[in-house]
Amino acid sequence: MKTLFKIVLISILSINLLDTASAQTEKQIRDAAKIAEGKEQLDNRTFTFQARYMYPLGGGQRYLNTDYDVRVTKDSVIAFLPYFGVAYSGAGYNSNEDNGIKFTSTKFDYKSELKKNGIRYVTIRINDSRTTNQLIFNISPNGYTDLSVNSKNRQNIRFDGMLNDKSKTKK
């Protein structure tokens, strides 16, 4: 009876170990595919950043439950992001065009740099927006992204999110 119990116990443990190893392998394959997809999109200069959190310079963190994003293609940058912070002189209050960070740019400079730790820094200097100067993306290999938005007449603001987050893409 004891030997039968030992055999059953060893069998259950073996099956459990094999199942865990298989799940790890599948996760590694999915992660590798996601990394390759993100790298290809960054190399082609076509990606979408989905914002999940915003961090105003004045402090505090705000969760974003609406689809806010920045879409980058070879010939345009389209930003639709919220803004919460201090506006300086020349910034309008209570006008529809000055609420949030909303612009479409076709005149921009794109610079991408890959660091040794796998983090890619993408800097986009906007040349035809009257409010936004620069977008700085820090993109990890698995798609987690930190975006800093530098403005001409507002405090800078930072966003966290994902590159091409399929769960929040617009249909």
Please say if the pLDDT value at position 139 is more than 90.
yes
Q: What is the pTM of this model?
A: 0.73
Give the architecture-level CATH label for domain 46-168. Beta Barrel (2.40)
- Tell me how far CA of residue 94 lies from CA of 17, 91, 98, 141, in angstroms: 61, 10, 7, 40
Q: For 79-123, how does the pLDDT look when each residue is reduced to its tens digit (9 = 90+)?
A: 999 988 887 766 555 555 557 899 999 999 999 998 888 899 999
- Residue 168, pLDDT score: 43
Rounded Cα distance, 163 and 71, in Å: 10
More confident residue, 59 or 35: 59
The token pair that represents 37 in the structure block: 């997809």
Q: For 16-34, how does the pLDDT look when each residue is reduced to its tens digit (9 = 90+)?
A: 665 665 556 776 676 666 6
- Residue 143, pLDDT score: 87
